[in-house]
A and B are shown apart, each in its own frame.
Chain A
Amino acid sequence: MLGKGAKRKLDEDEEGLEGKALAPGAGLTADGLSKVSYTLQRQTIFNISLMKLYNHRALTEPRLEKRVLINNMLRRIQEELKQEGNLRPPLFFPPSAPAEHPVDEGFGEAQPAFSVLSMVSTALAPPPALPPPPVTPPSSGLSGPTPLDACLTPASLLEEDDASVCTLPLPLSPSPFQQGLSRFHSPLSRDSFSSALDNIEELCPSASAAAAPITTSPSYCGKACSPKPEGLAPPPEGRALVATATESKPMETLPPSSLDMSTSPPSSSSSGFLTDLALDDILFADIDTSMYDFDACTSTSGTAPSKLSPVVTADDLLKTLSPYGGGTSPVTQNQPFKMDLTELDHIMEVLVGS
């Protein structure tokens, strides 16, 4: 239905008309239109998915299955965008403010604004300039800033500028996280969702070849991979790209902040949409965030900037203050979030004032 370059039957008339109308002027091929409409649909679905996850204010606990399915959808789109990141023009996302997280024992969601921004920045990145691992961890694939759309918050520029700072040399011996990342990409290389993927494979045949033999657990493309003999219980190594992505960040920027490692699993924080946030440690190193640390596990981190003490976002504070967020599992994020400095000031004022 959405194969490479193939016109979808139902939109055939539509595209025909559009093609006639635009082709002479814009010089776009029918194939290009199909890709554009695919991109538009994907973006629409992405926005809808984000809204579903974050604008849902239920009195009862939201259904886990629904959230898992929406989350999988978002991850898949994010993966696609990342794969296509160096081939497509900048994608414009509205800077949506993340709403209340659905509280749950452990299944957490990301903050969409930041996830979006991080995605954009990764999408814009040119092919990784780094040597192996074969697959670019999303957090370090930014070696050249590209002008973003004006509707993005300034924080995105911050992230972008400091992305180059962030591209520290990765440990050459593949960490389990990097392996997890490469593992996750392999099934995707078989997923012909995006036509651009084939182009990428052509460009980096060694990358896909190296990643190909490694299979993952029953992931979305699990059918193509060798089926796991056991049930749904995942193997001990990292599987999902998203989880490993967030964990790879502290790995590459700091000597093991064991606090972060140990606390990020139980925290219901970002499911991996957050990438490339180590720079916060550099940016906000002078800010004393000890007071904002609500996480019981990391409460001992103090104010040492060398440790990855969390910078609490506005949403964390909202969450802990709101009746729905209160009393939940240690939900506050451990990974530092990018935050506009003005927003941070505002939050501080609110806190001090109250």
Chain B
Amino acid sequence: MKCFSRYLPYLFRPPSTILSSSCHTEADIISTVEFNSTGELLATGDKGGRVVVFQREQESKNQPHRRGEYNVYSTFQSHEPEFDYLKSLEIEEKINKIRWLPQQNAAYFLLSTNDKTVKLWKISERDKRPEGYNLKDEDGRIRDPSTITTLRVPVLRPMDLMVEATPRRVFANAHTYHINSISVNSDYETYMSTDDLRINLWNLEITNRSFNIVDIKPANMEELTEVITAAEFHPHQCNTFVYSSSKGSIRLCDMRAAALCDNHSKFFEEPEDPSNRSFFSEIISSISDVKFSHSGRYLMTRDYLTVKVWDLNMESKPIETYQVHDYLRSKLCSLYENDCIFDKFECVWNGSDSVIMTGSYNNFFRMFDRNTKRDVTLEASRENSKPRAILKPRKVCVGGKRRKDEISVDSLDFSKKILHTTWHPSENIIAVAATNNLYIFQDKVN
């Protein structure tokens, strides 16, 4: 796998985090990461409701080695904690997902969501300000009109760059259950928000109305056995979207067929392997993430132990299945007890759809090359990655003799989990969130 031969780890943390990762505050835990469509910006959301946006430095001939480093561009508080008085429960401010809108002018727009409310934020730069007002002086104090003898036209003068984020739309009160996904449509006019039982379609301009397109809530809640876990629009076909379920199935729906898309057009599900059946078969088949390939031809799903690639034309089984951490299969009971079995790992394609990546425990993350069928396990940790050092592949030994540098299954740290990763849309740059630390790795092919 030539493209992963060298990696330059670049360590980044949100400014408010304590340096030592062992005593971070809960609010600093990164809950989502997302590159924008050009890769120039990288947004992270955390449990405290904050969004931090990084911008890539322009290449400069003076400092070629600093090509493409990401610096903090803007930080803002997107969501605040709320209280649901009806149920006497708190509504977490944790940012569940961030999705960028395609750039149409100088400003950047992103959607960020917590459990209940989606917000559209505008991030814009201000590098000029008007000077020479008539009615107020430079400090902003109002001038006494009787002292004004001449009039002047204010002029724009350069100022220090200021990046401001303003909430432009708030899409609230449309979800009874927890929002788990948002997805912007390729028509750039609509987007959908998905909770456990319903999917709503919004127009980006209209906040007081949304259209329900999928509703799987049963008439009797006691009969509920399946929930929606993720959903995404097709990258090119604005009428097509998919949603995944907690039972390991994916449904592809066409909005042209009916207003309410409870009837799917395609149903993707792999029959259960009887030899692998256990008490936990259903839980580990629950799909935690679903992503279309950039080409729109394939679909990738992540369940607890595997990543699967599906061809949209074949519903009966995936075309590829990759084992992420199969050594956990014998530990499912313990993982059920400590709730790790419910961890929701995300998965991501690279720009050319040739490599897929997903996270694991112990701050490991895995990459699978679909063409060469080779895979690698890497670790995101400060001890192991000096700046510009090459990331060393890691290996988990499953039994028998443990070689040097291998780590045994029992030594894995299950509190260090990499749930959120993202890949630059065109280059080999990845961002990996390890609890409260953000790692940005680049591939430097010389």
- Kindly provide the distance from the CB of A229 to the nearest chain B CB, expressed in whole angstroms: 7
- Tell me whether B267 is interfacial, beta carbon within 8 Å: yes
Determine the residue in chain A with the shortest Cβ distance to B215: A233
Contacting A at CB under 8 A, from B245-277, are 245-247, 249, 251, 261-264, 267, 269, 271-272, 274-277
Q: Residues 19-56 of chain B: 1 if any A CB is under 8 Å from the residue's CB, otherwise 0?
A: 00000000000000000000000000000000000000
CB contacts (< 8 Å) of A179 on chain B: these are none
Judging by beta carbons under 8 Å apart, are A234 and B178 in contact? Answer: no
Contact (Cβ within 8 A) A327 B246 = no
A65, B286: Cβ atoms closer than 8 Å: yes
Question: Does B383 belong to the interface (CB within 8 Å)?
Answer: no
Q: Number of A interface residues at 8 Å Cβ cutoff, please give it.
A: 63
Q: Is A223 an interface residue (CB 8 A)?
A: yes
Name A10's contact: one of B115, B218, B277, B330 (CB within 8 Å). Answer: B330
Asked whether, in the complex, the Cβ of B330 is within 8 Å of the Cβ of A107, the reply is: no
Contact yes or no, B277 A1, CB < 8 A = yes
Q: Is the CB of A60 within 8 A of B89?
A: yes
The reply on A232 being an interface residue by CB < 8 A is yes
Q: Is there a chain A Cβ closer than 8 Å to B336's Cβ?
A: yes
In chain B, what residue has the closest Cβ to A232?
A: B216
* B161: Cβ under 8 A from any A Cβ: no
CA distance A65 to B177 in the complex (A): 10
Neighbouring B residues of A132 by C-beta, 8 Å: none
A contact residues around B86 at 8 Å (CB): 327-328
Asked if B138 is at the interface of the complex by the 8 Å CB criterion, the answer is no
Q: How many residues of B contact A (CB 8 A)?
A: 57
Check B379 for interface membership: any CB of A closer than 8 A. Answer: no
Mask, A42-65, CB within 8 Å of B = 1, is 101100100010000011110111
A68-B226 contact, Cβ under 8 Å, with A60-B89, A233-B215? yes
**Distance from A293 Cβ to chain B, minimum over Cβ atoms (Å):** 20
Residue pair B88, A45 in contact (C-beta under 8 Å): no
Asked if B214 and A231 sit within 8 Å, CB to CB, the answer is: yes
Among A197-205, A236-244, A342-350, which stretch is in contact with chain B?
A: A236-244
Taking a contact as CB atoms under 8 Å apart, the answer to whether B278 and A60 are in contact is no
Identify A1's interface contact among B176, B275, B337, CB under 8 A. B275
- Contact across chains for B282 and A73 when beta carbons are under 8 A apart: yes
A240 touches B223 (CB 8 A): yes
In the bound complex, what is the Cα–Cα distance between A48 and B337 (angstroms)? 7
The answer to whether A328 touches B87 (Cβ under 8 A) is: yes
A268 at the binding interface (Cβ < 8 Å): yes
A229 to B221, CA, bound (A): 21
Chain A residues contacting B165 (CB-CB under 8 Å) are: none
Asked if B220 is at the interface of the complex by the 8 Å CB criterion, the answer is yes
Contact, CB under 8 Å: B286 / A69: yes
Q: Encode A185-215 as 1/0 by CB contact (under 8 A) with B.
A: 0000000110000000000000000000000
What's the nearest-Cβ distance from chain B to residue A83, in Å? 15
User: Does chain B have a CB within 8 A of A133?
Assistant: no
- What's the nearest-Cβ distance from chain B to residue A281, in Å? 21
> Would you call B188 an interface residue if the criterion is a C-beta within 8 Å of the partner chain's C-beta atoms?
no
Within 8 Å by CB of A234, from B218, B267, B336, lies B218
Per-position binary interface string of chain A over residues 235-265, scored 1 when its CB falls under 8 Å from any chain B CB and 0 otherwise? 0101110110010000000000000000001
Between-chain CB contacts (< 8 Å), 25 pairs: A59-B90, A60-B89, A60-B92, A66-B339, A66-B342, A73-B279, A76-B279, A103-B88, A107-B221, A192-B274, A220-B282, A230-B264, A231-B251, A231-B261, A231-B263, A232-B226, A232-B262, A233-B215, A234-B223, A238-B223, A240-B222, A323-B88, A327-B87, A328-B87, A328-B88
Further contacts, 15 of them, CB under 8 A, given A61-B178, A68-B226, A231-B262: A1-B278, A3-B274, A3-B277, A52-B339, A61-B84, A63-B178, A76-B282, A104-B87, A231-B216, A233-B262, A236-B219, A239-B223, A240-B223, A243-B223, A265-B220
